[in-house]
Chains A and B, each alone.
Chain A
């Protein structure tokens, strides 16, 4: 059964994505050109999140990993990164409450949408932290590789 809010999101995907991407560029305090490979990759990842946001799936996890991999190495604190999802909530609320879509979504659907977006935010945070942990692991691995022969001799 198609979820009502999911249908509304897919019908308005372009509008939502454009607004979300515009807000995303603000993350970078003017230091991200709108036409750049990173911005393009970011837009692609945001689009994938929207495509699969209805329910948990491997595709959604993949999309969140792709998104958080980009965000986890940017010059900003985690809170700023996560604000991206609060922006999504705001964009969707504005769209579905203030426009003609109002009639198409019942209060119960809007509540479901809010809950789902909160869930998504928490999942995105977990994914972001996974990437930060990966960075720590990469630092450790790199050090080990650099000291490979010394460690080998020490172990012997």
Chain B
């Protein structure tokens, strides 16, 4: 029986406690902290499994559920949280500033996709931050302590921990709110700190910690071992040969290759990521790139970002250790979201500068990527845009005529590193139909998919659909106006989560990686007549001859 089917005892409890009835409650005039926190199936993620926590050496491994009355918090958990908060306020000046400087202007309130999609006031970034700020104010700044009761401060209780767990897991760290904050407060960093604190007492999310543990052990989120990783890619190589007649030849762990290519492991095992992988393989073959793929640094994503600074640093270091071991000149990175946030914003001060690598130079065009002088890592969209700009690719955009596209800016790449034009430039060169979504839903104002930052768990589906509502609404507008049927994106989490979001809110819209469309459009030397795209769907105008 499905794990989602409620038990009879739960239903009985629901009848007794909740007493199904016509609507009577009136919450007007109540304070925000009086609104009850209620965990129900669909609005919480399964906690980390004990064995996962043991693997990672994380505290308080146990079996528990957010719906339990007693969360089995460890003895002295209040002190652990307070000490943890104190230590982080000291270590991260930004965190202290963000807690101190909010003037509650409310500019962020209606910018959060979770607030827009749920309507829940505690999802206003200002109020979400207040969940932790109210505790900070109660225990730390002296003046506020004296004015206790007037300053919105409150005691740290188990209920507060439950509230943190609910609402800091209804923030995808997308940073849309920070774009609009006049004080420059980055609520994502507050969420990161809150999640670190919760991890200290064993309040966590298995969909984040299991990939972290897997990555720690095998080098990728799903825990794929090296031989399976190779077999998956070889299987895609066979698919490419069947479709195009071209045999591409990726190499693995090859010392002395010029470039190490690292992409999210979703591109190697999941649908539709694998079609994006096929696009990369075709592209690299097309230009004769001297590259290798590592079976150890087999993951671009970094769920450490959603866990703790230390874990993020450790998982990021793996990529650079492998680049050094293989003796490559620089790293080319695939279509990923948070991998790029970590590389662009944190790598340099965590593990950099990577002086054992060279400043990236495209071996095909000679372009020097001075923006990657420190990280030595170039985004594949940037790399491909440069190839197209120098007329190095033979492309037939008509091969994508069955796809009427729009582009979803992935939060981490768009807001995190300011990459807006390169993917659009590539997209416009590989297809003939492209329509932008509304201006306030793209580029730096892009809406999150609703499932980022490790919240893509299936048991969290209800909240994900609500959090993704603003993005889905923007897609629906171009679907209705321009008959758009293809949502293109450059993030593995988007490729995993947006198909579900589209099927729920906007049936008829499919999700594609940018380089899948590149792979469709590439005219390969010696290829056979192409009639199908990389998904084996017929390409409009390229049908088989009837005879």
Q: Determine if B149 is an interface residue (Cβ-Cβ < 8 Å).
A: no
Select one of B25, B38, B465, B473 contacting A75, CB under 8 A. B38
User: Within the assembled complex, what's the spacing in Å between the Cα atoms of A135 and B499?
Assistant: 13
Interface of A is mostly: helix
Set of chain B residues within 8 Å of A55, measured between Cβ atoms? none
Cβ–Cβ contact B269 & A150, under 8 A:
yes
Select one of A27, A30, A135 contacting B30, CB under 8 A. A30
User: With contacts A27-B23, A31-B121, A69-B504 known, is A145 near B272, CB below 8 A?
Assistant: yes
Cβ–Cβ contact A38 & B119, under 8 A:
yes
User: Within the assembled complex, what's the spacing in Å between the Cα atoms of A11 and B40?
Assistant: 40
Binds B, one of A56-64, A79-87, A99-107, A110-118: A79-87
Set of chain B residues within 8 Å of A90, measured between Cβ atoms? 22
Cβ–Cβ contact A39 & B119, under 8 A:
yes
Q: Determine if A52 is an interface residue (Cβ-Cβ < 8 Å).
A: no
Select one of A77, A80, A136, A138 contacting B503, CB under 8 A. A138
Set of chain A residues within 8 Å of B470, measured between Cβ atoms? 37
Cβ–Cβ contact A145 & B2, under 8 A:
no
B458 to chain A, nearest CB (A): 4
Q: Determine if A149 is an interface residue (Cβ-Cβ < 8 Å).
A: yes
Set of chain A residues within 8 Å of B36, measured between Cβ atoms? 29
A44 to chain B, nearest CB (A): 11
Select one of A38, A74, A77, A141 contacting B500, CB under 8 A. A141
A110 to chain B, nearest CB (A): 20
Cβ–Cβ contact A30 & B270, under 8 A:
no
Q: Determine if A134 is an interface residue (Cβ-Cβ < 8 Å).
A: yes
Set of chain B residues within 8 Å of A147, measured between Cβ atoms? 269-270
Cβ–Cβ contact A146 & B270, under 8 A:
yes
Q: Determine if A152 is an interface residue (Cβ-Cβ < 8 Å).
A: yes
Cβ–Cβ contact A83 & B119, under 8 A:
no
Select one of B21, B27, B274, B461 contacting A29, CB under 8 A. B27
Cβ–Cβ contact A80 & B35, under 8 A:
no
User: Within the assembled complex, what's the spacing in Å between the Cα atoms of A80 and B14?
Assistant: 12
Q: Determine if B232 is an interface residue (Cβ-Cβ < 8 Å).
A: yes
Within 8 A of B (CB), among A5-29: 23, 26-29
Cβ–Cβ contact A36 & B272, under 8 A:
no
User: With contacts A29-B36, A31-B121, A39-B119 known, is A135 near B503, CB below 8 A?
Assistant: no
Q: Determine if B466 is an interface residue (Cβ-Cβ < 8 Å).
A: yes
Select one of A37, A77, A86 contacting B116, CB under 8 A. A37
User: Within the assembled complex, what's the spacing in Å between the Cα atoms of A136 and B540?
Assistant: 33
Q: Determine if A97 is an interface residue (Cβ-Cβ < 8 Å).
A: no
B17 to chain A, nearest CB (A): 11
User: Within the assembled complex, what's the spacing in Å between the Cα atoms of A74 and B465?
Assistant: 9
User: With contacts A138-B461, A147-B269, A149-B269 known, is A38 near B504, CB below 8 A?
Assistant: no
Q: Determine if A153 is an interface residue (Cβ-Cβ < 8 Å).
A: yes
Select one of B14, B25, B274, B463 contacting A30, CB under 8 A. B25
User: With contacts A86-B22, A149-B268, A149-B269 known, is A142 near B118, CB below 8 A?
Assistant: no
Cβ–Cβ contact A134 & B504, under 8 A:
yes
Interface string of A122-143 (1 = CB under 8 A from B): 0000000000001110110111
Set of chain A residues within 8 Å of B117, measured between Cβ atoms? 37-38
- The residue on B at minimum CB distance from A138 is B500
Q: Determine if B98 is an interface residue (Cβ-Cβ < 8 Å).
A: no
Q: Determine if A32 is an interface residue (Cβ-Cβ < 8 Å).
A: yes
B218 to chain A, nearest CB (A): 15
Q: Determine if A73 is an interface residue (Cβ-Cβ < 8 Å).
A: yes
Cβ–Cβ contact B270 & A87, under 8 A:
no
User: With contacts A23-B23, A87-B23 known, is A30 near B35, CB below 8 A?
Assistant: yes
Q: Determine if B271 is an interface residue (Cβ-Cβ < 8 Å).
A: yes
Q: List 23 A-B contacts (CB under 8 A).
A: A26-B24, A28-B119, A28-B120, A31-B122, A36-B110, A37-B116, A38-B469, A41-B473, A73-B42, A73-B466, A80-B23, A90-B22, A135-B504, A141-B503, A142-B500, A144-B271, A145-B270, A145-B271, A145-B499, A146-B269, A148-B270, A149-B268, A150-B269
17 more CB-based (< 8 A) A-B contacts, given A141-B500, A146-B266 = A29-B27, A33-B121, A38-B466, A38-B469, A73-B461, A73-B466, A74-B466, A77-B18, A80-B23, A83-B22, A83-B23, A136-B2, A141-B499, A143-B458, A147-B270, A148-B269, A153-B231
Q: Which residues of A contact B (CB under 8 A)?
A: 23, 26-33, 36-39, 41, 69, 73-77, 79-80, 83, 86-87, 90, 134-136, 138-139, 141-150, 152-153
